[in-house]
Structure 1
Amino acid sequence: MRRVHHGFGPRFIAPVLIGPVLNPINTTMISVALVPISRELRVGSSVVIWLVAGLYLASSIAQPTMGKLADIFGPKKVYLAGLVIVLTGGLLPVLVPHFGGVLAARICIGVGTSAAYPSALTLIRDQSTRLGTETPPALLSGVSIASLTTAAVGPVLGGVLIETVGWKAIFLVNVPLAGIALAMAGLWLPSDRTRPGGRRTGSALAATDPVGILLFAATIAALLVFLLDLASGYWWLLGTALALAGLFAWWELRRDTPFLDLRMLAGNAPLFRTYARLFLVYLSSYSMTYGFSQWLQAAAGYSSDTAGLLQLPTAVLAGVASVAVARTRALRLPLVLAGLLPCAGGVLILTLTSRAPVWLLLVVTGLFGVPQGLASVTNQAALYRQAPTEQLGTASGLSRTSIYLGAIVSSGIIGLTFGARPTDAGIHAIGWLIVCATGIAGLLAARDRTLSARPAPRRAAGARAGAESHPS
């Protein structure tokens, strides 16, 4: 197929932006569907939360894996394969209408959507190198803004779909979205055969490091399953995760082409701090998204669509903040604010009861909007600046693993605090978690002097990546 795209025009931008929004919108849309699914399928809160955890567990493993595959085999191939998996997941709840089928659908959607974000950043990097130009800051910010906006709108859209069609609609909506993305990406994105540096030689299987991927997957799975059911105290799973982590590190450090370059991570303190901030900020964010939504419906008595609408200030303010911060190269101040503002929101959550007035609920949700916008755009900019160019796909995927790890921990804490039913005491415990997590994230940003440094020119980095990461 002849390449039909030139430069960074609409035909490149549209498919690059639409794919990455599928994961965040599925991530948050389910938040207002948990109670209806629980009632119809007759499963408790501690069981239905696995619909959240299943997607995160799959995504936390699949994101860096898909990023690695994009680095090796080409981002377009990986992107298209992921969209096909998303289509399949969107149909599963209709074809298999019980809890097992719904859980399988969430896992498929998690795996499929995991291809989009690392592939998008790799496509942008490759295109910059191909054109010999600097990456447009607006496009890079656009990936983050599009993902953020759809994540914030997810509860509202989910509530509308549930009230008008039913909870299965939040799965079926993936079919047209993934289909449109599949058509645009197939027709408009540059072929992987035109990647800078030519085609990779040698064993692609060896470069993929399948043993390292399996050990990483087993480590993450054991750790996250332990975190998901903290009340049961499965300490043997924690021990298993630590043993597997040691084996994974031993294997990776002996390889010339590891799945994860642990030496790079150990020597790149700014990138490591970015991962830590992502974990803490999204631990807070998703504790709010899922915990607050369940509490609004089960304790305060609001319907699914009203619970979604009550979180509309988050969506609006997140969008406004992300657009505003995209115009500046400053990173440190926005990241400090991204910690302090939700910390104030956590303090307000401590005052809530099931009879709290609507205006107070709106103020609480509004306090989480601006920091979401600040954290999303600026942490991505920090990642793009700090990650080695030749490993951008893997590094960006690992950043999403940090996010999903925060989401998994939040799911486990929600299950532990709410139990069979959300309560005021439970939402207060979540408020304390938010205060602690965001306070630490703000402190990490305030003490990180590298965030004040000016970024290195991306044009030189891109040219270097074209020469080194894909030898001909």
Structure 2
Amino acid sequence: MIPRLSRRGPATAAGPAPDAFDRRLIAPMVLGSVLNPINSSMIAVALVPIGIAFGAPPSQTVWLVSALYLATAVGQPVIGRLVDMYGPRRLYLAGTGLVGVAGLLGALAPTLGTLIAARVLLGFGTSAAYPAAMQLTRSEAERTGQDSPAGVLTALAVAAQTVAVVGPTLGGILIGLDGWRAVFTVNVPLAAACLVLGARRLPRTRRPAGDRPGVDPPGMVLFAVTLIALMLFLMNPGAERWYLPVLSAVAAVAFVARELRVPDPFVDVRVLGGNLPLIATYLRQFLGYTTSYAYLYGFTLWLEEGRGLTTSTAGLVLLPLSASALAVSTLTGRREAVRSKLVVGSLVQITGCAALLLVGSGSALWVLLLTGAVMGVPQGLIGLANQTALYRQAEPARIASAAGLLRTFMYLGALAASAADAAFFPRRADTPGLHDLAVFMLCGSVLLLVASLTDRSLSTLTPRDTRDTRTTRTTRKV
């Protein structure tokens, strides 16, 4: 059951209009949701100065990236479940407060280990806002009876994409002004702004007396072990690390067995297993972001090592990728059209991957720019389509935890992409390796197209009648 949210009044300055989305919620929702992508992207330009400061090689500083991925992939669904149970306000405030603490810890960190711990805290802290935003969107639809969240969902997607694009630039500016510690310190004012906005604008949760759902800590621990073991293997796959996928499989079996027995599971595997369209959405999220991140990481490496561009020039070559992704998201965001976006995005992604097979060390700069612009189109379509599909497919009472799992599959795609880049560029990012990577990406894109074309449920996605849902829930309580 979704926690009931108390409101202070009708369509006045003291409260939202009864039949319109409460626009006061948008600022804390968007600001909180960008904390994760901005911390994911800013660190890219800080790894070298951090390594110099602590005398650490890249094999150690890379944990600053991996630590946040691991913490976020586990934290998003776990905290999302708590949002479903206790409402968005408490978890939003606790999470953004933790971001501020992590920022201070990183700014004062005396060792690389402490800095990695700060990144773990950042991962968990930034895991609260996106599930909270999805739950707030659902609760507003129930309050108003107007289930048309395309504009809000687009704002969340575009904000995250924009911040991911400007993150490295912002990080470079901060480092130039006050050194690498500034990329951690900046989280303090951002967290403070989230706390103020959240405390003033997020609705309080009101639960019926005696309604105390279980938290299921053993289920959460088994889920975490399953995911961490799998992700550690994907980060550095090899025959000598065979025990990690085995541990992941054993923990997964134990997790499913427990969740089937307990009355209030962390993940309701019965409902999830019966919701094949939602499982298909998670699969599409994984496939889409595996290709997206493989291109982002691999193509960038090739631009510098295979094409011989400087770091700054390689960054400029990637600008059309970001620009087209943002433009497509903005232009198509208000129309749900989930199936069309997935099919078109898959086809354009296939085209872009095929174009990479024709790219070489002597390719003209305009060819590289055009390739990036083409690959940006699916980035603007696929992520937004999957987010909208999840909103329609997930059980309303578990919308936040379902949204957290969507982010988990995105990060699994990122780690799979990193493993692919390492496999195809064992020594340096040369052109043959890029072509092999393009074939890998092409196969994933074809699978994404097949998964989109064969999923008939996508053509039947429609807004829920939230007024009927609200009435039914009230009737059951009576």
Query: After the TM superposition, which residues 126-205 of structure 1 pair with which residues of structure 2 at under 5 Å, given as runs?
Result: 126-162=139-175, 166-193=179-206, 198-199=207-208, 201-204=210-213
Asked if 1:105 is matched to 2:118, the reply is: yes
Shift of 1:392: 0.6
Residue 384 of structure 2: aligned partner: 377
TM-score, normalised with respect to structure 2: 0.88
Query: After the TM superposition, which residues 114-129 of structure 1 pair with which residues of structure 2 at under 5 Å, given as runs?
Result: 114-129=127-142
Structure 2 CA distance, aligned partners of 1:226 and 1:381?
Answer: 31
Query: After the TM superposition, which residues 286-305 of structure 1 pair with which residues of structure 2 at under 5 Å, given as runs?
Result: 286-297=293-304, 300=307, 302-305=309-312
Conserved 8 A contact 2:137-2:149: no
Q: Provide closer, same or farther for how the CA distance between residues 343 and 177 of structure 1 changes in structure 2, counting only shifts above 3 A.
A: farther
Structure 2 CA distance, aligned partners of 1:35 and 1:43?
Answer: 9
Asked if 1:212 is matched to 2:223, the reply is: no
Which amino acid is 2:147 matched to?
Answer: E
Q: In the TM superposition, what whole-angstrom CA distance separates every residue of 1:298-323 from its partner, at most 9, and x where no partner exists?
A: 55555554443332212211111112
Alignment match of 1:6 (pick from 5, 12, 16): 16
Conserved 8 A contact 2:389-2:461: no
Asked if 1:338 is matched to 2:351, the reply is: no
Conserved 8 A contact 2:142-2:466: yes
Conserved 8 A contact 2:223-2:252: yes
Q: Provide closer, same or farther for how the CA distance between residues 233 and 162 of structure 1 changes in structure 2, counting only shifts above 3 A.
A: farther
Residue 23 of structure 1: aligned partner: 36
Which of 46-55 and 176-185 deviates more?
A: 46-55
Q: Provide closer, same or farther for how the CA distance between residues 242 and 432 of structure 1 changes in structure 2, counting only shifts above 3 A.
A: same
Q: Provide closer, same or farther for how the CA distance between residues 458 and 107 of structure 1 changes in structure 2, counting only shifts above 3 A.
A: farther
Q: In the TM superposition, what whole-angstrom CA distance separates every residue of 1:84-119 from its partner, at most 9, and x where no partner exists?
A: 111222233331154323322322221111101111
Shift of 1:76: 0.7
Residue 368 of structure 1: aligned partner: 375
Higher RCO (CA 8 Å, separation ≥ 6 residues): 1
Structure 2 CA distance, aligned partners of 1:458 and 1:426?
Answer: 51
Secondary structure of residue in 2 paired with 1:368:
helix
Alignment match of 1:227 (pick from 230, 234, 237): 234
Shift of 1:294: 3.9
Structure 2 CA distance, aligned partners of 1:168 and 1:77?
Answer: 29
Residue 59 of structure 1: aligned partner: 72
Structure 1 CA distance, aligned partners of 2:475 and 2:125?
Answer: 29
Shift of 1:434: 1.7
Structure 1 CA distance, aligned partners of 2:337 and 2:7?
Answer: 40
Conserved 8 A contact 1:30-1:155: yes
Which amino acid is 1:411 matched to?
Answer: S
Shift of 1:384: 0.7
Q: Provide closer, same or farther for how the CA distance between residues 15 and 30 of structure 1 changes in structure 2, counting only shifts above 3 A.
A: same
Conserved 8 A contact 1:90-1:175: yes
Which of 10-19 and 97-106 deviates more?
A: 97-106
Asked if 1:237 is matched to 2:244, the reply is: yes
Q: Over alpha carbons, which structure has the higher Rg?
A: 2
Which amino acid is 1:226 matched to?
Answer: F
Unaligned regions of 5+ residues in structure 2, if any?
A: 1-5, 9-13
Aligned length: 465
Conserved 8 A contact 1:19-1:116: yes
Conserved 8 A contact 2:392-2:461: no
Conserved 8 A contact 1:159-1:308: no
Structure 1 CA distance, aligned partners of 2:300 and 2:437?
Answer: 12
Which amino acid is 1:92 matched to?
Answer: L
Identity of aligned residues (%): 40
Unaligned regions of 5+ residues in structure 1, if any?
A: none
Which amino acid is 1:186 matched to?
Answer: A
Tell me how large the CA RMSD over aligned residues is. 2.8
Structure 2 CA distance, aligned partners of 1:88 and 1:302?
Answer: 39
Q: Provide closer, same or farther for how the CA distance between residues 392 and 46 of structure 1 changes in structure 2, counting only shifts above 3 A.
A: same
Shift of 1:67: 0.7
Residue 449 of structure 1: aligned partner: 456
